[in-house]
Amino acid sequence: AKEEGKGKYIIFDPAFLQAFSERVNMEKYLRKALERNEFMVFYQPQIRLRNGCIYGFEALIRWNSPERGMVSPLSFIKIAEDSRLIVPIGEWVLAQSCMFAKRLQDEGYGDYKMAVNISVVQLLEDGFVDSVLRILEKSGLNPEQLELEITESMIMESFHLVISKLDLLKSKGIQIALDDFGTGYSSLGSLKNMPITTLKVDKSFIEHVPEQEDNRNLARTIVMIGRKLGMRVVAEGVETELQLQHVKRAKCDLVQGYLFSKPLPELEALELVRSGRKY
Ligand code: C2E
Ligand code: CA
Ligand code: CA
Ligand code: CA
C-alpha cells in the first residue's frame, strides 16, 4: 500500500506546484497590469539606407511594473498567449501605436510606417480582422502606414486560415511583414504566393555577418530573394558599423538596430522625429 501511495502523490512535487503557482500569479499580475495601465509601448526607428531618413518604427511592448521594474516581453508574452490575455494586450498595443503614428502625421512630421508584432493567438481569434480595421479607423491612420509583423511558424500553424486573414488585411492596404525570416521552414515556392510585403532578415544572420562568410552569403541571398519577390527588406539587429557595411552591400532597404537607436519611449521617439535626425 505504501508503494502505491508513493506513485500516486507524484503530482504534489513541490517544484511543479511552485512553477504552477508562479504561472497563475503571473497571469493574475498581467491582468492587473492591463487594468492598471502598466504596459508601455517603445518605438524603435527603422532607417532607410538610401537616404538615412527614419522611415518608420517597430512598436515593442514593455511592462513597467511597480514591483518588478521594466519587464521584457520575452518574459511575459508566452504566458499572455497561453492565458489569451494577449488578445486585449495586443489590441491595446495596436491602438497605442496607430495613435502615435497618427500624431506624428498630424503634427506635420510625415507619414511614418508603424510596424506592430502580432501573436498567432491574436491572429487566429475570430474577430481579429474586424478589430484591426476598427482600431485603424478609430485612429484615423492610413492603412498603408500600418504593418503587421508575423512569423513563419504562425503561417505554418494554420496555413489557409492565416493566409485568408492576411489576404483580407492586405486588400485593405495594410502591410504584412515576415519577421525573423530565415529561422523557419517556409519554402520559397509558398513565399511567392503569400500576402507578404516585407521581409525582416533575422538578427542571427546579421550578428555573425562580418566574421563568417557563410552568414554573409546567406544574408545576401535572403535580401536578394526578398527583392526578387518585390518585397521590402529590413535587416534587424544591426549593432556595428561593419554589419552596416555588409547590409548596405547586400542592398537592404531598411535597417533597424542599436547602432542607430534602441527602442524609445514615446516622448523620446517624438523628440527624435522633431529633431529631424538623419543617419
Ligand atoms: P522581435 O519582434 O524579433 O523584436 C526585435 C527584438 O530585438 C526587440 O526585443 C528589440 O528590442 C531587439 N533589438 C533591436 N535592435 C537590436 C540590436 O541591435 N541588437 C539586439 N541584440 N537586439 C535588438 P524586445 O523588445 O525585447 O522584444 C522581444 C520580442 O518580444 C520581440 O522580438 C517580439 O517577438 C516580442 N514582442 C515585443 N512586443 C510585442 C508585442 O507588442 N506583441 C507581441 N505579440 N510580441 C511582442
Ligand atoms: Ca518584430
Ligand atoms: Ca525579429
Ligand atoms: Ca524574434
pLDDT of residue 2: 46
- 174-203 pLDDT, tens digit each: 999 999 888 877 677 778 888 999 999 988
Contacts of 128 (CB under 8 A, 6+ apart): 122, 165
**Ligand 1 lined by 45 (C-beta under 6 Å):** no
Q: How many CA atoms lie within 13 A of 60 on its CB side?
A: 18
Average pLDDT score over residue span 118-125:
95
Instruction: Return the amino acid letter for 172.
Output: K
Average pLDDT score over residue span 105-127:
96
Contacts of 225 (CB under 8 A, 6+ apart): 188, 191, 199
Can you tell me the distance from the alpha carbon of 181 to that of 176, in angstroms, rounded to the nearest whole number? 13
Q: Which residue's CA is minimally distant from atom 17 of ligand 1?
A: 237
**Ligand 1 lined by 261 (C-beta under 6 Å):** no
What global pTM score does this model have? 0.93
Q: Determine the residue of 34, 117, 121 to mutate for testing ligand 1's pocket, defined as the one with the most ligand atoms within 8 A of the Cβ atom.
A: 117
Q: Which atom of ligand 1 is nearest to the CA of 42?
A: 25
Asked if the model's pLDDT at residue 10 lies above 60, the reply is no
Asked if the model's pLDDT at residue 61 lies above 90, the reply is yes
Q: Which residue has the higher pLDDT, 48 or 215?
A: 48
User: CA quadruple 72, 148, 267, 264: dihedral positive or negative?
Assistant: positive
Burial class (CB in 10 A: 0-12, 13-18, 19+), 36: exposed
All residues with CB under 5 Å from ion ligand 4 = 180
Average pLDDT score over residue span 61-78:
93
**Ligand 1 lined by 188 (C-beta under 6 Å):** no
Q: How confident is the model at residue 254 (pLDDT cuts 50, 70, 90)?
A: very high
**Ligand 1 lined by 184 (C-beta under 6 Å):** no
**Ligand 1 lined by 179 (C-beta under 6 Å):** yes
Q: Which residue's CA is minimally distant from atom 8 of ligand 1?
A: 60
Average pLDDT score over residue span 75-92:
95
Distance 149 CA to ligand 2 centre (A): 6
Can you tell me the distance from the alpha carbon of 62 to that of 78, in angstroms, rounded to the nearest whole number? 14
User: CA quadruple 10, 12, 15, 16: dihedral positive or negative?
Assistant: positive
Q: Which residue's CA is minimally distant from atom 42 of ligand 1?
A: 117
HEC string of the chain? CHHHHHHHHHHHCHHHHHHHHHHHHHHHHHHHHHHCCCEEEEEEEEEECCCCCEEEEEEEEEEEECCCEEECHHHCHHHHHHCCCHHHHHHHHHHHHHHHHHHHHHCCCCCCEEEEECCHHHHHCCCHHHHHHHHHHHHCCCHHHEEEEEEHHHHHHCHHHHHHHHHHHHHCCCEEEEEEECCCCCCHHHHHCCCCCEEEECHHHHHCCCCCHHHHHHHHHHHHHHHHCCCEEEEECCCCHHHHHHHHHCCCCEEECCCCCCCEEHHHHHHHHHHCCCC
Average pLDDT score over residue span 132-139:
98
- 188-242 pLDDT, tens digit each: 777 888 899 999 998 888 888 777 777 778 888 889 999 999 999 999 999 999 9
Q: Which residue's CA is minimally distant from atom 21 of ligand 1?
A: 237
pLDDT of residue 12: 64
pLDDT of residue 107: 94
Q: Which atom of ligand 1 is nearest to the CA of 122?
A: 44
Asked if the model's pLDDT at residue 272 lies above 50, the reply is yes
Asked if the model's pLDDT at residue 1 lies above 70, the reply is no
The region of weakest confidence among 12-16, 99-103, 179-183, 249-253 is 12-16
Can you tell me the distance from the alpha carbon of 241 to that of 220, in angstroms, rounded to the nearest whole number? 17
pLDDT of residue 14: 74
Average pLDDT score over residue span 124-131:
96
